[in-house]
Amino acid sequence: MRTRTTKLRDGAREEAFTLIELMVVIAIIALIAAMLTGLSGLAARKKHEGAVTAMKNKLMLCISSYQSKTGFYPPDNGNNVLWPADSSNYEYYTGRNPLLYELTGAAVNPTNLLFTVFDSSVISGATFSAAYGRGGIANSVADEERSYYQPLPSPSEYMVCNGLKQLVVPVPLTGAANELNWWHYDSSTTNRHNPLTFDLWAEYSAGKDSAGNRIIITNGNW
């Protein structure tokens, strides 16, 4: 391909790009930019996957330690007994679980059924029952090791909803402001992937596809 030349006033000649050459250069730059964006997105997804998997493995270890000590797995939401008749709310109930309180334990006042939990706040049995369908925290026996979650969870690992705290996934589900993306937990229904143990899973966003639809990843222990 021959380049167009322009004549300068002093008689020298200067090489100049043709329109086709400029278009080729722009196309190459755009291709490189797209490749870099794709690599950046892949790196971000791998980072998110690593963060979720690390927390999942930590929780699984805590749950196994709980079962080894007590002989049973931490109770889930008591409303799961409604499955499958109320299967439309399965995701809701598994997401609203008392796992944080069971793994960290509580001191109970049997007279008024008040539970003092890991951050020194106090929860009534009535409040706990209304939220989780359970009469109280099973891990509140005086001679049991109270906390299987060591070190105790940091504020970044849980969020508050209606006065109660729950473990949250370290990656958002939709990216909405103040989103509550809970961990899901099932230790009682026949819907479990692990019928003899428990299901623990997280759902989180992995960006969007070419059509602009959000990609949702499920990361579970099965």
The residue ranking higher by pLDDT, 182 or 38, is 182
- The answer to whether position 33 is within a domain reads no
pLDDT score at 55: 97
Specify the range with the lowest mean pLDDT, choosing from 11-25, 59-73, 117-131, 196-210: 11-25
Q: Does residue 37 carry a pLDDT above 70?
A: no
Other beta carbons less than 10 A from residue 67's beta carbon: 16
pLDDT score at 54: 97
- The answer to whether position 28 is within a domain reads no
- The answer to whether position 58 is within a domain reads yes
> Are 182 and 168 a contacting pair, CB within 8 Å?
yes
Selection from 192, 141, 132 nearest residue 166 by Cα? 132
- The answer to whether position 1 is within a domain reads no
In the sheet that holds 214-220, the strands lie side by side as: 184-186, 199-208, 214-220
Q: Does residue 103 carry a pLDDT above 80?
A: yes
- The answer to whether position 44 is within a domain reads no
Q: Which residues contact 12 (CB under 8 A, 6 or more apart)?
A: none
Q: Copy the structure tokens of residue 49.
A: 């996957």
- The answer to whether position 85 is within a domain reads yes
pLDDT tens column, 89-98:
999 999 999 9
Q: Where are the alpha helices (DSSP H) in 14-117?
A: 19-70, 90-95, 99-104
- The answer to whether position 65 is within a domain reads yes
Residues spanned by the domain of 92: 49-220
> Are 152 and 160 a contacting pair, CB within 8 Å?
no
Q: Does residue 31 carry a pLDDT above 80?
A: no
Please state the pTM of the whole predicted model. 0.80
pLDDT score at 29: 81
Q: Does residue 14 carry a pLDDT above 80?
A: no
- The answer to whether position 29 is within a domain reads no
Count of domains forming the chain: 1
Local structure of residue 168 (DSSP, 8 states): B
pLDDT score at 33: 67
- Residues forming a β-bridge with 30: none
> Are 132 and 97 a contacting pair, CB within 8 Å?
yes
Specify the range with the lowest mean pLDDT, choosing from 8-17, 63-72, 121-130, 184-193: 8-17
